[in-house]
Amino acid sequence: MFGPGSQFDEFFDDPRWALAMVRATVLEAAHPQIGAALIENSTFVAHPWRRLRNTFLSLQRMFGADDQVRLKEAGRLNRLHARLNGTDAQNRPYHAMDPDARAWVVATLFESAVTMCRLSGQPLEQSVMERLYLEFQAFLAAMGDEPGHLPPTLHDFWRYYDRVVEEELENTDAMRIILYKLFDHLPVPPLLNGLPTLWAAGRAVAGPVVGAITVASLPESFRRRAGLPDLPGAQTLMHSAYLAVGLARFLPDGWIQAEGIADLLALSPESDDPRARKLTDLRDRMQRAGALLRLVTPLPPPPEPTAGTGTRRSAEEFFQDVLDQTGDGYLDWPDLAAMARELSGRLDLDEPEETSLYNAFADWWRELQAELDGDGDGRISAVEYVEAVPAMAGPALIRLSEVLFDVTDKDGNQRIDADEYRALFRTAFHRDLTDADGTYTRSAFVRDFLTFMSGRGRSTPYDPLLAEA
């Protein structure tokens, strides 16, 4: 059911899968429980590229051939989901461990894979479809869910799918954000940070197109009930897009690899990866060409560099770039929990170390709340943060830095070596960080982490970790 030879493995590098994943995410977000969990806890608005790469890595682990890796990833996902619960805007409870909601996530992935083949003119044969459905059932079982939340047969699945679409899906805030805000305001990937104008121009064209294609691919009955616009020519555009993207499958082997593309989008310009250096060089040449073009054309001069380009950032910038992980304009527990999730995932922590890291973030949140939540509403606004101008790290943040050092220092020798450093930062050591013996000491790590997290300065390793999209 998993690994090479599985039906899902054949789809993994299929470029049409990108469109199918967007469609599946919209259908997930339209489920009230899932939509509420996304709005309250997810970083998909402020950090979509990071979220994309983490989702890809998780699918890779779950559908890979290694049973131990799959078991560990399932445990990690279950611990993550167990922490996501609350009430939505209509005061309805939600919980990410709800078995019906989890089954719907798997159902949208399966149905969107079937739909992507149909829309691109290559519908799956019945036997292939049945095998793919068995694989997704096995995926849900690997997560530890009891059988029965997905129908036992493919024939029964379509009745289940139609019922959920007709009776349970809603025009949720999360769905509208994905369709009408995320694509239009998609932040620049880390590697293209130096080309904001180029990115903005491409996004202005591609964003509405992706949104229109996604809306046109949704079930017609749901589109009508949710009041989603039926734009003229959208159906033709949708079929053309799936056909055109599908043609990329016929490129030479190795040209289209999902893993390589996901890694590339997540690369920071400061990374030691050779691909980052090549693309950074290309970006620099494009910038020089743009400067030459401005010399010979009567265009207005570019804006002056802002303070954000230096080694220090303002309190407002730090709040927006680092603290507000969910992008809702406030700092509260879901923001710090998102940091804990990112760090735990990068370090591939087991349950005890993961729990200690979450607890350290929870202690820091209580410290921040006590010091900065002036109006007592349970969250910290940008104004409250800026007015307080926190200049010194408190005891809880110091403790957090020590816990992060301990879980990164896998061998417990009180030094972070090159491999441990790469696991956290996904790049090689910077010379100014290492001690004389080529390692990162506890005191240096704690000092640098506190400098960054107290908002006093930019950091080559920490910005890609927590600040970049």
Torsion on CA atoms 221, 139, 6, 26, rounded to nearest 10: 30
Torsion on CA atoms 444, 445, 446, 452, rounded to nearest 10: 110
Return d(Cα 385, Cα 389) in angstroms, integer: 6
Cβ atoms 441, 317 nearer than 8 A: no
* Residues, the chain: 469
pLDDT tens per residue across span 239-275 = 899 888 877 766 666 555 656 656 655 566 566 666 5
- In the predicted model, is pLDDT for residue 381 greater than 90? yes
Q: What share of the chain is helix, strand, coil (3-state, %, to 5)?
A: 65, 5, 30
| Predicted pLDDT of residue 306 | 39
Return d(Cα 433, Cα 437) in angstroms, integer: 11
Count of CB atoms situated within 10 Å of the CB of 460: 16
pLDDT tens per residue across span 136-165 = 999 999 999 988 899 999 999 999 999 999
Comma-separated ranges of CATH 1.10.238.10 domains in the chain:
315-467
Classify domain 315-467 at the CATH topology level: Recoverin; domain 1 (1.10.238)
| Predicted pLDDT of residue 142 | 95
For 155, the token pair is 């024939």
Quick one: DSSP state of residue 304? P
The average confidence (pLDDT) of the chain is 85
pLDDT tens per residue across span 276-334 = 566 666 556 655 655 554 555 554 444 443 333 456 778 888 899 899 999 999 999 99
Antiparallel, parallel or unpaired: β 330-331 and 415-416: unpaired
Average pLDDT over residues 201-228: 90
Count of CB atoms situated within 10 Å of the CB of 66: 12
